A and B are shown apart, each in its own frame.
Chain A
Amino acid sequence: MKNRNHIGVLDRLQFQLPKIVLSPSVAIIVIFVYGFILYTSYLSFTGSKMLPNFNWVGLQNYITLFRSRTWDTSVTNLAIFSVLYIGICCFIGLMLAILLDQKIRNEGFIRITYLYPMALSFIVTGVAWKWILDPGIGLEAVLQGWGWESFSFRWIKERDMAIYTIVIAAVWQTSGFVMATFLAGLRGIDNEMLRAAQLDGASTFAYYRRIVIPQLRPAFMSAFVVLAHMAIKSYDLVIALTGGGPGNATSMPATFMYSYTFTRNQMGIGAASAVMMLMTVAAIIVPYLWSELREKK
């Protein structure tokens, strides 16, 4: 009797084992992702300065945030950056993928060349481009040294243009990855279609526009989701390339959040900006995950 009971407990433990094994990870995610998000959201309604405090101030931080010129600049910069970054990456990526899909000799070498920037840290990318774009020693100095005296390229120093230099470096870093995503999508398309299209006498252009590109929708979706959330989170590259300057001309929500929270001792406002970033990401990611996870059933 005793013995049987004993076995019963072990059996039940064995039965529960998978859930027990999974639970530390689930607990970690629940606390450090969801709990922390709630905590940050809560702080965004408090008058926290250098340290967290719990004086409820309602929407005050959000009002201050939306009236802040720096936040305004950051959001505008994010909009400019995202549209150009995603647009150009997708365009270059798609173009290179289609070109590379034409039985190219040395395809392996070319693919590695296009992709390696993705292995580098944004800090390294930032350092490299910072000096390449620097008028004192970079492109401008080089071309002037070669005799093109009137050549001028000082975007990185100009308030209105500096944000575009971040686009240049970011596109350099990730367009190869987008190319690889599209290339994988292209390779997944049945060759029969090509033969059928050729028999019908379709031009190359029509073949790609009518048959291939529409089938790349999933690849577009993953590229978009990845690029969009990278754009919203972009912090390292801005810090390394321009430090947010000149002035705060290249400020982005991520740098805004960091400087308000950790250097300007306005934690409540920093938390409010973090919540705004989170909601923007969630607006893109949640529907995406939802549709992906639901399709299964």
Chain B
Amino acid sequence: MDGKQKTLIEANTDISASGRKTRSIMPTFTRFSLYLILGLFCVYYLLPLYVMVVNSFKPLPEITSGGMVALPIDWTISAWQSAWSEAQIGVEATGLKPYFINSLLMAIPAVTITTLLGAVNGYVLTKWTFPGATLIFGLILFGCFIPFQAILIPMASVLGRMGIAGTLPGIIFVHVVYGISFSTLYFRNYYASFPTELVRAAQIDGASFFTIFWRIMLPSSGPIAVVCIIWLFTNIWNDFLFGASFSDFDSQPMTVALNNLVQTSTGVKEYNVHFAGAILAALPTLIVYIVAGRYFVRGLMSGSVKG
């Protein structure tokens, strides 16, 4: 399994910690243009965020008169109020608030369950290997990459038969099912470099399977658990396809509600409300990213992507 580890984990090296290793063989006089190019790309990546923030504080006429890039003349938070609690999304004018809560109620249990399952799976697959374990890991891994279109139809009818179609538990279930592959990948690769001798020694001392897991493996899993949680949270919070396919009006996640808000074709397009809503939808993952950005970087690189 070293091969997998190399490509997916080699990237796992904390790139910020290795700043010392940077090389520079460029002559100093080119450094100005170097900073210029890097700066221009900063502008490119920041521009949409700037546009969103600035326009969410403007009254509508300021945007429609062609001032999208300008700072607001009349600062107002009315678009935020509207997006949060007044905008018409479903049948009633509830704003995005109930959907924001749905997303939280969906993401928190889904992330918790998936992370625990991944930890146990990773533990078994590295410390209690058996013939065919690599094959099983490969089978699980493929689940990271399948296009979800290939499972949408049967999933819809199975959720119906289980009686959880259109409910939050139904969506949580779907996210757990398709999150297992990722959490298992993370923990498997992380535990692979955990000294097996320690586990064997504990075993000889009479520690049971679960004792070893709770007392030895879990306490040393902090870094990978953080990576896994951030990764799953981002993906589940940002999911649109499952939310659009498997939720009813009262279980819709934030992304689906935001899309409904923006695509509504009746009436005046309230761009300022759309921008405020987009920031609200982005806020939880942005906060997580800013607070734990270093881990997020690692997470992005150590386990590919659930598109």
List the interface of chain A (C-beta within 8 A of B).
Answer: 14, 17-19, 21-22, 24-26, 28-30, 32-37, 39-40, 43, 52, 92, 96, 99-104, 107-108, 110-132, 136-138, 141-142, 144-145, 172, 176-177, 180-181, 183-185, 187-188, 191, 194, 197-198, 204, 207, 218-219, 221-222, 225-226, 229-230, 232-236, 239-240, 243, 253-254, 257-258, 261-262, 267, 270-271, 273-275, 277-278, 281, 285-286, 289-296
Contact = CB atoms under 8 A, between A and B. Distances in A.
Given A37-B150, A293-B3, A103 B289 contact: no
A171 B12 CA distance: 23
Interface in B268-288: 271, 274-275, 277-278, 281-282, 285-286, 288
Contact of A137 (B49, B64, B208): B64
Given A25-B140, A114-B41, A274-B147, A99 B7 contact: no
B101 interface: no
Nearest to B210: A17
Contacts of B24: 102-103
Interface of B: 1-4, 6-8, 10-13, 15-16, 18-19, 21-26, 31, 34-35, 37-38, 41-42, 44-49, 51-52, 55, 63-69, 117, 120-121, 124-125, 128, 130, 134, 136-143, 145-155, 157, 177-178, 180-181, 184, 208-209, 234, 237-241, 244-245, 255, 258-259, 262-263, 271, 274-275, 277-278, 281-282, 285-286, 288-290, 293, 296-297, 300-301, 304-305, 307
Contact of A119 (B120, B241, B285): B285
Contact of A116 (B128, B138, B286): B286
A191 B21 contact: yes
Contacts of A32: 151, 155, 177-178
Contacts of B259: 123, 126-127, 239-240
Contacts of B18: 187
A191 B25 CA distance: 11
A187 B14 CA distance: 10
Nearest to B129: A18
A40 B150 contact: yes
Contact of B154 (A39, A104, A119, A124): A39
Given A40-B151, A127-B274, 16 more contacts: A18-B130, A33-B143, A34-B139, A101-B22, A115-B289, A127-B275, A132-B51, A181-B301, A185-B11, A197-B25, A222-B7, A222-B11, A229-B147, A233-B148, A281-B146, A293-B3
B25 A194 contact: yes
Nearest to A127: B278
A281 B145 contact: yes
Contacts of A219: 7, 11
25 contacts: A22-B125, A28-B180, A32-B151, A36-B154, A40-B150, A40-B151, A40-B153, A107-B22, A115-B296, A119-B286, A120-B282, A120-B285, A124-B281, A127-B274, A127-B277, A128-B275, A181-B11, A181-B301, A184-B11, A187-B18, A222-B8, A235-B241, A257-B149, A281-B145, A296-B1
B255 to A, nearest CB: 4
B238 to A, nearest CB: 3
A137 B271 contact: yes
B66 A144 contact: yes
Contacts of A180: 11, 15, 297, 300-301
A219 B8 CA distance: 9
Given A26-B136, A102-B26, A142-B68, A289 B42 contact: no
Given A21-B120, A39-B153, A236-B240, A128 B51 contact: yes
Given A115-B297, A233-B307, A296-B1, A204 B146 contact: no
A189 B106 CA distance: 42
Nearest to B22: A103
Contacts of B297: 111, 115, 180
A274 B150 CA distance: 5
A206 to B, nearest CB: 11
A36 B38 contact: no
B79 to A, nearest CB: 13
Given A225-B304, A295-B3, A18 B209 contact: yes
A127 B11 CA distance: 31
Contacts of B153: 39-40, 43, 52, 261, 267, 270-271, 274
A29 B151 contact: no
Contacts of B46: 113
Closest 6 CB pairs of A and B: A295-B3, A121-B238, A18-B128, A145-B66, A119-B289, A230-B307
A185 B10 contact: yes
A110 to B, nearest CB: 6
Contacts of B120: 21-22
Contacts of A257: 149, 152
Given A40-B153, A132-B48, A240-B259, A226 B293 contact: no
